[in-house]
Amino acid sequence: MKRISTICLPLLAIPLLSATLAPGDTVAYRPASGTKVARNWSLKQDLTLDEMDMTMNDQPMPIPGEMSMDMSNEATIEVTDVLVEMEGGKPTKLRRTYDKLGGDGHFAVEMAAMPNGGMDQSLTSSSELEGKTVAFTWNADESKYDRAFHESEGEEKLLEHLDEDMDLRAIAPGREVAAGDTWTIDVKQLRALLMPGGDVGVRPDKSGDDQMDGMMPGMDNFGDMSDMLGDMLEGEATAEYQGLQDVEGGKYGVIKLKLEIQSNNDMADKLQDMLQELPDGMGEMTFDHMDVEFGLEGEGTVLWDTELGMIRKVDLSGKVSMSVDVAMQLKVQGREMAMEQSMTMSGTIAIKLDVTKE
């Protein structure tokens, strides 16, 4: 009896050993050359004024009565990518067609001192890149992508700030993982999540009475992520793998994300370039600085296609905060004035990505 029990013990251990040695799921960016996918991005942001202060020639300027301000912006980016050649874990040749680029925004202010007690304006945005195809070619000598129009024409300035990465490759650990495994993500690589494709040239349409002509010059494009984000992101980002699950009609690896990101950016030069001709009698305006601090604290879910080797879906939401500090010089009717304004805003953000293999 004892002998039979002794013989059976190793047999009982086999299932436990098999579970321990079972391979994990490979979460790595590895699509095949020639893969063609459609990517549909949606980014929505809502902000509300928390506090505002103004000074003129170093003297406080009280704001008469109560004031409220709300801003919202929703952008749509739809592209079709052909990963012509893959090498070293990234596309070395990629063709991207910008199928749809646009946005809708809303800006509302209530203040008794303003004409009509405030303003309520909406705007639509579009991009000259819509309908065009751009080729991204990896330049190994300079460690960057060269960009050129492919079988289409456009202004070269539209190519200057485009980014190739819409794959969010930084999210993948590049190895086998099992349910419960965690890893950190380099937040500097998450610019592609907050600003997919870089600056794709979405700008407010200038025609129509409903555009934000009454706003401070340059503010009609404020609220666009490309304006808020600086070149460097800081903070923390972590991921937890929750295993393969039947989701959205397929079997995908589920990754939970947690983000806490900050960014600092001086927009003075950009705002000066965007400055429209001021109304008669307004004189001249120059900006000393326009410091923008942006923060995001959010959570989301990523569906990873382990067979295709790339992301299938992203759904992320969270809280955002923004502070703006502006210093400008005004020349009006021969008088020179120094004006400073600071404000803080807070609100919410929602980012969605849907990828479909074609």
* pLDDT value at 16 more than 70: no
* pLDDT value at 211 more than 70: no
Question: Structure pTM?
Answer: 0.83
Domain residue spans of the chain: 24-357
Contacts of range 66-70, beta carbons closer than 8 Å, 24 or more positions apart: 66/110, 66/111, 66/112, 67/109, 67/110, 67/111, 68/108, 68/109, 68/110, 68/111, 69/107, 69/108, 69/109, 69/110, 69/345, 70/46, 70/106, 70/107, 70/108
Q: Could you report the per-residue pLDDT of 142-178, keeping only the tens digit for each?
A: 999 999 999 989 999 999 999 999 999 999 999 999 9
pLDDT at 214: 41
* pLDDT value at 227 more than 70: no
Q: Could you report the per-residue pLDDT of 285-299, keeping only the tens digit for each?
A: 788 888 889 999 999
The identity of residue 282, as a single letter, is M
Q: Could you report the per-residue pLDDT of 89-135, keeping only the tens digit for each?
A: 999 999 999 999 999 999 899 887 777 878 898 989 999 999 999 99
DSSP 212: -
pLDDT at 155: 93
pLDDT at 119: 87
